[in-house]
Structure 1
Amino acid sequence: MKNERVFKMSFASVYLHYITKAEKKGRTKEEVDTVICWLTGYDQNGLQQQIDTKTSFITFFDEAPSLNPNVSKITGVICGYRVEDIKEPLMQKIRYMDKLIDELAKGKKMEKILRE
Structure 2
Amino acid sequence: MPKHRIYTTSFASVYPLYVAKAEKKGRSKAEVDQIISWLTGYGQKELQIQLEKQTDFEAFFAEAPAINPSRALIKGVVCGVRVEDVKEPTMREIRYLDKLIDELARGKTMDQILRRK
Q: TM-score, normalised by structure 2?
A: 0.96
SS at match of 1:70: helix
Counterpart in the other structure of 2:6: 6
Deviation for aligned residue 1:66: 1.6
The alignment covers a number of residue pairs equal to 116
Counterpart in the other structure of 2:57: 57
Would the aligned equivalents of 1:3 and 1:91 in 2 still touch at CA under 8 Å? no
Counterpart in the other structure of 2:107: 107
Q: RMSD across aligned C-alpha pairs, in angstroms?
A: 1.0
CA distance in 2, matches of 1:2, 1:82: 22
Counterpart in the other structure of 1:25: 25
CA distance in 2, matches of 1:32, 1:112: 14
Unaligned runs of 5+ in 2: none
Deviation for aligned residue 1:4: 2.6
Deviation for aligned residue 1:52: 0.8
Moved over 4 A (4+): none
**Distance of aligned partners of 1:75 and 1:3 in 2 relative to their CA distance in 1, 3 Å threshold:** farther
Deviation for aligned residue 1:69: 1.4
CA distance in 2, matches of 1:3, 1:101: 24
Unaligned runs of 5+ in 1: none
Q: TM-score, normalised by structure 1?
A: 0.97
Deviation for aligned residue 1:2: 6.7
SS at match of 1:61: helix
CA distance in 2, matches of 1:40, 1:102: 17
CA distance in 1, matches of 2:3, 2:96: 15
Would the aligned equivalents of 1:39 and 1:71 in 2 still touch at CA under 8 Å? yes
CA distance in 1, matches of 2:55, 2:68: 21
**Given the alignment of the two structures, is residue 77 of structure 1 paired with residue 77 of structure 2, yes or no?**
yes
Counterpart in the other structure of 2:41: 41
Letter aligned with residue 9 of structure 1 = T
